[in-house]
Structure 1
């Protein structure tokens, strides 16, 4: 049976216990990745005072994690396509959980910065791999909803970080907030049991027994259904290449996706790092400012689920363009004094149109590329996008250090949303709508 038939079987399978377990496990991983990513924004006002940091220094430290994320997205995602996506996902979780926890023991900015960088490598490897595994195993009609639901973990973590900060920052201190990141390390054995290896990786390497064991969890009658999907084609040698992203009319879209990710992540990480501080500068107390961070991520959480449902019905591209434009408008309006209800509403809508749109963008891109380069494609876009993510915290620090008016600070973070929408206009329709492999006809015999 060839890999084309395998993917067709997975696309058309029913959503069962196997899928629920996989989805929950991926949601858990992304939730703690999200927590570890944004927790710096919750402790940065305290670190500025304790370590006598300037806003620019604090912004640069915030960028170190995203710098590591760039390396992780490109390097680990490429290795995942070659050596196994499950293995690299587990390694990524160990990286970001361990080094975020260790950063809680840092006595100065140097060790803290190194820990953020090394944790960032894990951040970069986890997200594209989770998306790729879900794209392979979740039935096609549920795929957008499942991926966007898993990526809601970013918002769950984004809400959890300021909540933990509000509960423990004043009583126990900022270090305990970082130690909370150790929880995923305790659950590595469960992740290893629940998460399956990529079906395309297993097929390329002839792991028939592992494939059969996995398919049996999905549907005990898989052999008969696979026979119905059988497509007798000539076998081709496997070829997984980074340069495949720039072949078969994919080059322009690859460049555009990188640009969209750059703009999108600039907004997201700039806001997650500096929103509490910007609101504090506007006259709100720190606890109230952390409330805006909760509102930002809470709006994104609810909006992401709605966007996933809408994308399955309406398509992703136009929806994304509209979200980025609306997000830019709301961001710009945040710099204008208004009543609390309107302010919290704008923050929530901004969360939907930035972080929620980013989750939908990941789902869109994951199904744009063929399976053999899916992790590599998402990893490249996320990796280049991290340059924008790195710029966001640094840009915020520079604007604050130059005493730029708060209104102009928000406008500076709003403009990338307009550029992201413009870049999406030129993304061509995917030539691989069925999300098939470049070596569709590779065959594996399932008959004992």
Structure 2
């Protein structure tokens, strides 16, 4: 039995949950930083007298860094390993977040936010790739959506930090707290193994076999007496180490790349356009900063059941149905949220929008790395994420211009409704179902 087949036949065990927590904590810290800037923006707008356009640029510059980081991080992960890039990018964005706390003016904050984004962009697709390559095929969707659910916990942490810390200690302290994940790097180095598929693809079969044997022992499985033979699947692409962009556009990968880029652009455009601006938009609607933080905190809590419900459905009804359905419902919720109303109505539709939008995110991170083979998996995922980040770059700036009009709040959310509906239709019509398939089977 070859090494990859042995890995895929290991049942869900403590190892898988430990890896989920270790990579998930990195995800949590990413979200905490992204959430903190959303809560800091309305405070900075008053303190530094920022215009709507300047606020939009603060959100966009981080996403520009994420786009570049996603491409370079994905390329580095396929060349130097998932674990190394995961560690370096986490350290980079943690330090840059702390530097945001000492920003002395608008321009310096832009520089530090770019560096934060670069680290974040490099880490996210790499963490998802690593978890994808270790998850059993029948439960892969659930594990990746659960990994993404740590994002919701991170946003909740950001909301709590903003609610309790910013009013008392200032916005700088929120950034200093966001730098603490740098200490987590040591746990990653000790507890996260390198990807088996990456090791085999680089010809490091002894290391791969040792890790698989260790996981088998943890799961109570007796390893084969004879050393595992190297299969043809294990040797795939060992003769060519150079990663080329054109590979994403050859054969069936071209269609997959197009649909992934559409999904990523649309979901990132809508997410960052909505949630980066959400506290500021609500303040402009007449709510106090403190009351706004309370409302957004409640909406953030709604993200968690959104993730868990998507985790339940993604391996049952499939990637396409779950993703298209959650995007469509997020679009409907965004439309009614934009119509305003009483505090109760705003909270209801805002919570539903948060529930479905973040559930859809979990499926996107499940779906993306499944569609590429091992040697370009992180690279292809990184490019898809990078294209999405350009959507995120545009959205905060476009919102900054749109809210100047008398019906700006309503028009902003009508726009996001249209974007999410288009993506939902594209997924349903052109997406490829990957539920329950082994990674090698999908990429053939």
Q: TM-score, normalised by structure 1?
A: 0.91
Instruction: Pick which of 429-438 and 27-36 moved more.
Output: 429-438
- Whether 2:84 is the aligned partner of 1:79: answer no
Q: Deviations over 1:116-137 (max 9, x none)?
A: 1011111111111111111111
Shift of 1:26: 0.9
Q: Per the alignment, do residues 431 and 363 of structure 1 end up closer, same or farther by CA in structure 2, a change over 3 Å counting?
A: closer
Aligned to 2:117: 120
Residue 378 of structure 1, aligned match among 381, 384, 388: 381
Aligned to 1:194: 191
Report the CA distance between 1:80 and its aligned residue.
0.6
Task: State the partner residue of 1:435.
Answer: 439
Structure 1 equivalent of residue 353 of structure 2: 350
Q: Quick one: distance in 1 between partners of 2:434 and 2:303?
A: 31
Paired with 2:146 and 2:237, the residues of 1 have a C-alpha distance of 36
Counterpart in the other structure of 1:410: 413
Quick one: distance in 2 between partners of 1:285 and 1:436? 53
* CA–CA separation in structure 1 for the residues paired with 2:245 and 2:334: 36
Q: Which among 77, 95, 99 is matched to residue 96 of structure 2?
A: 99
1:235 Cα deviation after fit: 5.0
Q: CA deviation at 1:213?
A: 3.4
Number of the residue aligned with 2:310: 307
Partner of 1:445: none
- Cα distance between partner residues in 2 of 1:374 and 1:266: 23
Q: Which residue of 1 aligns with 2:401?
A: 398
RMSD of the alignment, in Å? 2.4
Q: Deviations over 1:406-428 (max 9, x none)?
A: 21122122221011112213435
Range that drifts further, 211-220 or 255-264: 211-220
What SS does the aligned partner of 1:219 have?
helix
CA positional deviation for 1:279: 1.3
Partners of 1:117 and 1:226 in 2: how far apart? 51
Measured after TM superposition, the shift of residue 185 of structure 1 is 1.1
- Correspondence for 2:209: 212
Q: Structure 2, unaligned stretches of length 5 or more? A: none
Mark the CA change 1:431 to 1:309 in structure 2 (over 3 Å): closer, same or farther: closer
Structure 1 Cα separation of the partners of residues 441 and 144 of structure 2: 20
> Do the aligned partners of 2:367 and 2:434 also contact (CA within 8 Å) in 1?
no
Decide whether the 8 Å contact of 2:306 with 2:358 is kept in 1. no
Q: For residue 19 of structure 1, report the CA deviation from its aligned partner.
A: 1.6
1:269 & 1:417 partners in 2: Cα distance?
13
In structure 2, the partner of 1:145 is: 142
Deviations 1:176-204 (A, max 9, x none): 00111122111211111111111122113
- Shift in Å, 1:361: 1.2
Partner SS, residue 49 of structure 2:
coil
Distance in 2 of aligned mates of 1:232 and 1:244: 21
| Distance across 2 between alignment mates of 1:374 and 1:256 | 16
Q: Is the 8 A contact 1:264 1:417 kept in 2?
A: yes
The worse-fitting range, judged by mean Cα deviation, of 114-123 and 431-440 is 431-440
1:284 corresponds to 2:287: yes
2:271 is the counterpart of 1:265: no
TM-score normalised by the chain length of structure 2: 0.92
The Cα offsets for residues 69-98 of structure 1, whole Å up to 9 and x where unpaired, read as 000111110111111111111111011111
Look up the match of 1:341: 344
1:50 and 1:180 map into 2 onto residues whose CA distance is 20
Change (3 A) 1:105 1:90: same
1:255 equivalent to 2:258? Answer yes
Change (3 A) 1:162 1:14: same
CA drift at 1:251: 0.4
How far apart, in 2, do the equivalents of 1:237 and 1:172 lie? 54
